[in-house]
Amino acid sequence: MKRSPEQHLFREVERLSITVVTDNYYDALRPDTAISKSYRTRPGRSMHAEHGLSYFVETVTPSGDSGALMFDYGVDARGVSNNIRLLEIDLSRINAFGLSHGHFDHWGGFIGILKRGRKKIAGGTPLFLGVDAFAHRYSVRPSEGIAQDLGRLKREEIESLGIVRIVEVTEPTELIPGGYFTGPIERVTPYEHVRPTLKIKRNGVLEQDQFPGEQAVVFLVRGKGLVVLSGCAHVGIVNTVMHARKMTDVDRVHAVVGGFHLVGSDSEAIDATVADIKRLSPDHVIPTHCTGFEAINRFREEMADQFHLNTAGTTYTFQA
């Protein structure tokens, strides 16, 4: 594991747990593994799945510092809140909130979660996000040619609740002990491009959305390597992992978790992504949400020993 003289800026973690609060898929019968434990449905206690993504993250550093982060919030506040209850997640323990980007399937449940948890969430808890998180976004369906309104997260609505304080991130930033936002992600691969169908409104005009503020979360597990946690990776999951390696000056990748935004991609783009992730030799690959059925299957075929099929309600634990 390579380190620079500035490595002390990035704290290692002794233990990291990532709970997938909601995702596109739920299967109560998935077997547990050495790193994962799945939620088991019981009468009247069923996990909610949706086209959305939300995580609850906990860290412990070698010195004993600990923290808890909620990262992304799905679409349906009722469904996500149901899962929070079933998974026994204590909102009073949250030290920070984070948002990967400004699409509704990642922020849609946030206001409702804040309202439901306002008696538990400490006032002034930071909400970390990147630039353009509050912009109005659209998506053009190729078959229709019509821009579908995806809405926007309203800063004024969040501020009116008086619960969290908004922190805009423009560089790598520690959210909780040992958990870091990437800051703006460098684009280095020749094949990972933001889709032209994704639009953002600026000064009343629809433009190509380049997601300059999209964030992932990076952890360095002592003795194991990097864990990269993505929301959607519109700028490319390989770009995201390469950025994490450069930002920490650590080459070894322990796990890549999250949405890889390959749904609807052609086979060439999927194959190139799988090949590059395989070349990085992570110990675990856990695609979620917008990765897409075809790409998930390719990862399963090409990286069978590292692949995990995610299901909502699963907790992954990485430790030294």
Residue 143, judged by CB atoms within 10 A of its CB (0-12, 13-18, 19+), counts as exposed
| Separation CA 232–CA 262 (nearest Å) | 9
Of the candidates 174, 209, 206, 214, the one whose C-alpha atom is nearest the C-alpha of residue 195 is 209
Residue 54, domain member (yes or no) = yes
Residue 223, domain member (yes or no) = yes
pLDDT in tens, the chain (320 residues): 344 334 447 999 999 999 999 999 999 999 999 999 999 999 999 999 999 999 999 999 999 999 999 999 999 999 999 999 999 999 999 999 999 999 999 999 999 999 999 999 999 999 999 999 999 999 998 777 789 999 999 999 999 999 999 999 999 999 999 999 999 999 999 999 999 999 999 999 999 999 999 999 999 999 999 999 999 999 999 999 999 999 999 999 999 999 999 999 999 999 999 999 999 999 999 999 999 999 999 999 999 999 999 999 999 999 99
* CATH code, domain carrying 127: 3.60.15.10
| Separation CA 320–CA 224 (nearest Å) | 6
Domain count, the chain: 1
Q: What is the pLDDT of residue 299?
A: 98
| Separation CA 243–CA 128 (nearest Å) | 19
DSSP β-bridge partners for residue 36: 316
Residue 5, domain member (yes or no) = no
| Separation CA 209–CA 201 (nearest Å) | 9
Would you call 182 helix, strand, or coil by DSSP? coil
Question: Where does the chain show beta strands of DSSP type E?
Answer: 12-13, 15-22, 36-37, 54-60, 66-73, 96-98, 125-129, 137-140, 147-149, 164-168, 173-176, 179-181, 198-202, 205-208, 217-221, 225-230, 253-259, 284-288, 315-319
Q: Which amino acid is present at 195?
A: R
Residue 2, domain member (yes or no) = no
Owning domain of residue 46? 11-319
Q: What is the pLDDT of residue 237?
A: 98
| Separation CA 161–CA 115 (nearest Å) | 8
Q: What is the pLDDT of residue 6?
A: 41
Residue 3, domain member (yes or no) = no
Residue 269, domain member (yes or no) = yes
Residue 252, domain member (yes or no) = yes
Q: What is the pLDDT of residue 7?
A: 43
Residue 1, domain member (yes or no) = no
